[in-house]
C-alpha cells in the first residue's frame, strides 16, 4: 500500500472511540502523537499550543465531575489536553483553529497506530475551562481547548460514509 492509501485509510477509518482496554500506552507512541500534533499548520506559524499528558488515574477520574461527556475517562489510560497559549498569539483569535488542527492530527495519528481516541470539547464552555484550569493549575493565559482520551480500543466501529456531493460547490453557491 502506498503512502497516499495509508494516509487516506487513517483519515477515512478514524472514528470516535469511547471504550478502551486497560493496556498502557507506551511512551514512544505518546511521543509520536505529540509530534503529530506539533506538525499541524498554524496561522503565521505561531504554534500557540501546549499539551498536557494526563496519565494519573486520580486526575482522569476527576474530570467527568465537571464534564458530563467525559465518562470514558474512567477507562482511558491516558488523555492529552490541547491548550492555547494567548501569549504566543501573533494573529489574534486564530489559536482555536491552530489547536483544532493539532487535535485532528492527534486523532488521525492515534487511529493510524492502532489506538482509539475521541475529541472532547472544552473551549468555549466556561465550566469545563475553569474545571481544568483549577484541576491542573493552568496559568491564566493558557486556555484548555480540547481533551483527547486515548487507549487501545475495546470497541470497533466501521468507517462512516460521510462524503456528500451536495455539500460541494465550485466557484459560487
Q: Is the pTM of this model over 0.85?
A: yes
User: Is residue 131 over pLDDT 70?
Assistant: yes
Across the range 78-86, mean pLDDT stands at 98
CA–CA gap between residue 67 and residue 89 (Å, rounded)? 27
Q: What is the pLDDT of residue 1?
A: 63
User: Is residue 103 over pLDDT 80?
Assistant: yes
Task: Provide the residue range defining the domain that includes 77.
Answer: 21-155
4 within a domain of the structure (yes/no): no
Average pLDDT, the chain: 97
62 within a domain of the structure (yes/no): yes
15 within a domain of the structure (yes/no): no
Query: Looking at residue 121, which CATH number applies to its domain?
Result: 3.40.109.10
Amino acid at each position: 500500500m502506498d503512502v497516499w492509501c495509508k494516509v487516506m485509510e487513517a483519515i477515512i477509518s478514524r472514528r470516535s472511540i469511547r471504550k478502551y482496554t486497560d493496556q498502557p500506552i507506551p511512551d514512544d507512541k505518546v511521543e509520536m502523537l505529540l509530534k503529530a500534533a506539533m506538525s499541524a499548520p498554524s496561522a503565521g506559524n505561531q504554534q500557540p499550543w501546549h499539551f498536557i499528558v494526563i496519565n494519573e488515574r486520580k486526575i482522569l477520574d476527576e474530570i467527568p465531575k465537571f464534564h458530563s461527556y467525559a465518562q470514558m475517562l474512567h477507562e482511558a489510560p491516558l488523555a492529552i489536553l490541547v491548550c492555547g497559549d494567548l501569549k504566543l498569539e501573533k494573529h489574534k483569535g486564530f489559536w482555536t483553529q491552530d489547536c483544532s488542527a493539532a487535535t485532528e492530527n492527534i486523532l488521525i495519528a492515534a487511529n493510524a497506530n492502532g489506538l482509539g481516541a475521541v475529541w472532547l470539547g472544552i473551549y468555549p464552555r466556561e465550566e469545563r475551562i475553569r474545571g481544568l484550569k483549577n484541576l491542573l493549575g493552568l496559568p491564566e493565559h493558557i486556555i484548555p481547548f480540547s481533551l483527547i482520551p486515548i487507549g487501545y480500543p475495546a470497541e470497533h466501529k466501521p468507517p462512516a460514509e460521510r462524503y456528500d456531493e451536495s455539500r460541494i460547490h465550485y466557484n459560487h453557491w
